[in-house]
């Protein structure tokens, strides 16, 4: 009999899971229960097989993804100066609770700067620019809360990038002086 009960409550439990995942994410953690319920109606749950591409570097990005379960590899394709062939560089592996692609939420026809590939069976929650705009239009206070958090995330990422660029410049200068 157990499987019958599981089937009956599956949708509800899925829905609760989704609410729980959203509530634990940095972008949505300031939202109230009713606001989370509203956001839940906006997002898109997508399932990916191992090795399936979520998006490719260079494609126009529409929004961000939040990892509900599984993991996603972030890869960057580049052409090294000494070689003509494209080289794929593994950047990082993201796990449950992480999110990626958030820059597309604020860019106008921005391109993806990396390729995202699921490494195992992965469930992603897609949150896209039209969804954010609809939230802002229909429920501005919720929209402002999300946009504020999004700005914080983007600001943090920018700071980290600036620190890394500064470090690399310093290293490059040291290397040049040595030569």
Positions touching another protein (CB under 8 A) are 41-42, 44-46, 48-55, 57-63, 77, 86, 111, 126, 128, 130, 134, 137-140
The minimum distance between CB 42 and another protein, in angstroms, equals 8
The minimum distance between CB 85 and another protein, in angstroms, equals 13
First-last CA distance in the chain: 75
Tokens 């080289």, residue? 87
Of 68, 54, 72, the C-alpha closest to 22 is: 68
Residue closer to another protein by CB (options 59, 167) is 59
The minimum distance between CB 174 and another protein, in angstroms, equals 30
The minimum distance between CB 29 and another protein, in angstroms, equals 22
Residue closer to another protein by CB (options 42, 154) is 42
Burial letters 12-28, b for 16+ CB under 10 A, else e? eeeeeebbebbbebebb
Residue closer to another protein by CB (options 23, 113) is 113
Residue closer to another protein by CB (options 42, 147) is 42
């Amino acid at each position: 009999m157990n499987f019958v009960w599981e089937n009956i409550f599956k949708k509800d439990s899925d829905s609760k899971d989704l609410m729980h995942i959203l509530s634990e994410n940095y972008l949505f953690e300031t939202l109230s229960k009713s606001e989370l319920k509203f956001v839940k109606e906006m997002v898109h749950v997508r399932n990916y097989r191992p090795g399936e591409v979520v998006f490719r570097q260079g494609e126009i990005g529409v929004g961000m993804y939040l990892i509900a379960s599984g993991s996603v590899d972030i890869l960057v394709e580049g052409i090294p100066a000494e070689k003509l062939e494209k080289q794929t560089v593994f950047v990082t592996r993201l796990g449950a609770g992480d999110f990626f692609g958030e820059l597309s939420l604020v860019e106008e026809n921005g391109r993806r700067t990396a390729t995202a590939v699921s490494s195992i069976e992965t469930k992603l929650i897609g949150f896209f620019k039209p969804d954010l705009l609809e939230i802002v239009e229909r429920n501005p206070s919720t929209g402002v809360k999300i946009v504020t958090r999004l700005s914080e995330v983007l600001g943090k990422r920018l700071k980290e990038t600036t620190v890394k660029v500064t470090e690399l410049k310093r290293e490059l200068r040291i290397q040049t002086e040595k030569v």
